A and B are shown apart, each in its own frame.
Chain A
Amino acid sequence: MSLNELKERLLKNPRFQKAYFKRDLAYAVSRMLIEARVQKGFTQEKLASAIGTTQSSIARAERSKHAVSFDFLEKIAKAYKTYVIPPRFAFMDKIMAVELRNPTIIAQPNSSPTVAQDTVSRRIEGAFSLAFIGDTSPQMETYTTVQPARELVHAK
């Protein structure tokens, strides 16, 4: 069973479907904050001193229990020399509207995977996101410089 098949099966459960389209904003934002910090090569301490707070408050924001305030996001954006893209309602997003009418669109592997993937990534990272000035694409490939783990692949 592939990951898509799992999602297809889970989406048949009405409670899961409801949760899937409701999304946990706090979780999405916290994951986005970690991603942004790693992309910019900041440590929690460095970011904390840049915005005049403590390391533990950064850690709390990244722990996903409660959504952070817009003020806090703006402060972080300032430290990264960027700005915050405001969140949008789902119905304003055309792709999302199609998906809401037909939830299985994500689960079908052969039905335009680009649309599905685009929507999923937009929902996960795009609820609130920080735009980096001068970026050409949202998916920056700065990770090629990162030291790989000792045994990334243990293929035979």
Chain B
Amino acid sequence: MPEIKPYTSTSGRPYVYDDIEKIAKTDPESAVAITDDLDMLQRDPLAKLLTAKVVKQLKGKRYKALYELISECKNFGYRIFFSIAGSTYWLLHSFKKKGNRTPTKELETAKNRSDDLKNQK
């Protein structure tokens, strides 16, 4: 079973988990849906999640090492970007989806963090 780890800032702040905790304060139902999806990510094989389109591999040369977990909550769509290193899924960045197109800003944040992880090794 893969291990799920959040990417942390230099001060040890887990970005994705912090964001989920923030959501839990105002919209607990959505936070439950997101944690359920994280459970599913940990439990089910990636090939199955990719076929069910719960997880997508990002398109484009620059972002193809990144994956996104797709959560459709009642009030909004939520995306968690992660990268895979061995049997560890690194949760890099998350955001509420507001349009059809994923903003480049969000993609770049995830990309920078994934590069940072690679450099750390």
Report which A residues bind B (CB closer than 8 A).
Answer: 1-3, 6-7, 9-10, 13, 15-16, 18-20, 22-24, 27, 31, 34-35, 38, 63-65, 117, 120-121, 124, 143-144, 146-156
Contact = CB atoms under 8 A, between A and B. Distances in A.
B24 A16 contact: yes
Given A27-B33, A38-B51, A124 B72 contact: no
A15 B24 CA distance: 8
A13 B25 contact: yes
B110 interface: no
B85 A155 contact: yes
A94 B85 CA distance: 39
A138 to B, nearest CB: 13
B74 A65 contact: yes
Interface in B12-45: 14, 17, 20-21, 24-25, 28-29, 31-33, 35-36, 38-40, 42-43, 45
Interface of B: 3-6, 14, 17, 20-21, 24-25, 28-29, 31-33, 35-36, 38-40, 42-43, 45-48, 50-54, 57, 64-65, 72-74, 83-86, 121
Contacts of B52: 34-35, 38
A24 B17 contact: no
Contacts, number: 106
Nearest to A34: B52
Nearest to A146: B47
22 contacts: A2-B5, A3-B39, A6-B17, A6-B21, A9-B21, A10-B20, A19-B28, A19-B32, A24-B32, A27-B72, A38-B48, A38-B51, A64-B72, A64-B74, A65-B74, A117-B43, A121-B43, A124-B39, A146-B51, A149-B46, A151-B64, A156-B85
Contact of B50 (A2, A27, A149): A149
A2 B52 CA distance: 25
